[in-house]
Amino acid sequence: MSYDVTLTAAQAFDRYEEIRPRLPVADFPAAPRRCAGLLDVAEHVDAFILDSFGVLNVGDHPVPGAIARIAELRALGKRLIVLTNAASNPHADAMKKYHRLGFDFSTEEVVSSRDVCAARLADLAPGARWGAIAAAEDGFSDMDADVRHWRGDEDGAVDGFLLLSSADLHADRFARLEAALKRRPRPLVVANPDLVAPRETGLTKEPGAYAHELADRLGVTPVFFGKPYHAAFDDALERLDGVSADRIAMVGDTLHTDILGGRAAGLKTVLMLDHGLFAGLSAESFMARSGVIADFVTPSI
């Protein structure tokens, strides 16, 4: 598995601002509250919805202190949901990853954008054959639809395209995808709306970035599943039935997915600084430029 392109935080932020008209609309506080960690936020909420990359883990390594913090929040009686835009792995494989990293999340506590997409894919185009741009080892048994790998050939064999991963989306395959959509417009479904993701190698270019390029060039309208779009928050909030939205905090490392999406869903929001998009940078300047302002700002979990 490899990623062709990495971006800087400034480049990612500028691109998020360019695509802002395609994102949900939300209201924000005038300024964030600074705190040392989620224990400082706990008195204000009954539940946390946690992003994964940049909050719980960076690549295949847990964020320092994250495992212990989850245990402390559980001891306080806080309900927890992981809401991630990672769409490469079926739910069972995602659970194995969290457990391998040392987290004790139950299957009901994890919602991925892939899960959100899988629950709705068949209804988007009943009977459609979907060509998936995915990691080579990815399978599709969790999807109640006809999904097969699309590697740039067999153009006529698919009725729509499903973007799950950019791990192997090299320049040639992307060019083939663009050409296929130009020849015959078809649905483009994106199960990971992120533009970038923090990994050990830097900020990798994710499926959302490629989908927005296609929207710019071809005028297509991708269907996005995942943060900041409402269906992902609907599915997370369903797991927190009985908890008022204003007593739930969305915790993430990006302004345009976690914070904007959380506020659009009526949640409090917490921006993490040290391990994600804004690691080593002044998040205040980015909040001021965008107007996307978190309720709380904290170095780490």
Given the DSSP bridges, would you call strands 79-84 and 61-62 parallel, antiparallel or unpaired? Answer: unpaired
Evaluate the CA torsion angle 169, 202, 111, 26 in order and state its sign: negative
State both tokens at 113: 């954008």
Domain boundary among 224, 258, 283: 224
Q: Which domain holds residue 37?
A: 7-115+227-298
- Sorted by sequence, the CB contacts under 8 Å of residue 208 that are 6+ apart come out as 190, 192, 193, 194, 195, 224
- Is it the case that residue 69 has pLDDT exceeding 50? yes
Residues 76 and 155 in one domain: no
In a domain, 218, yes or no: yes
In a domain, 1, yes or no: no
Domain boundary among 170, 201, 224: 224
Residues 234 and 184 in one domain: no
Of residues 102, 122, 49, the one with CA closest to residue 268:
49
State both tokens at 181: 């959509």
Give, as one character, the DSSP assignment of residue 255: I
168-191 pLDDT, tens digit per residue, is: 898 999 999 999 999 999 999 999
In a domain, 2, yes or no: no
In a domain, 121, yes or no: no
Residues 11 and 98 in one domain: yes
- Is it the case that residue 27 has pLDDT exceeding 90? yes
Query: What pLDDT does 155 receive?
Result: 65
In a domain, 158, yes or no: yes
Domain boundary among 198, 224, 250: 224
In a domain, 258, yes or no: yes
Residues 231 and 100 in one domain: yes
8-25 pLDDT, tens digit per residue, is: 889 999 999 999 999 999
In a domain, 60, yes or no: yes
Residues 194 and 213 in one domain: yes
Residues 88 and 58 in one domain: yes
By percentage, how much of the chain surpasses pLDDT 70?
97
pLDDT tier, 5 (very low <50, low <70, confident <90, very high otherwise): low
Residues 141 and 51 in one domain: no
Q: What is the mean pLDDT of the chain?
A: 94
- Is it the case that residue 1 has pLDDT exceeding 60? no
Residues 170 and 198 in one domain: yes
Three-class secondary structure of residue 112 per DSSP: strand
The CATH number that applies at residue 209 is 3.40.50.1000
Residues 253 and 184 in one domain: no
Split into its structural domains, the chain has a count of: 2
Q: How confident is the model over 82-105, as a mean pLDDT?
A: 95
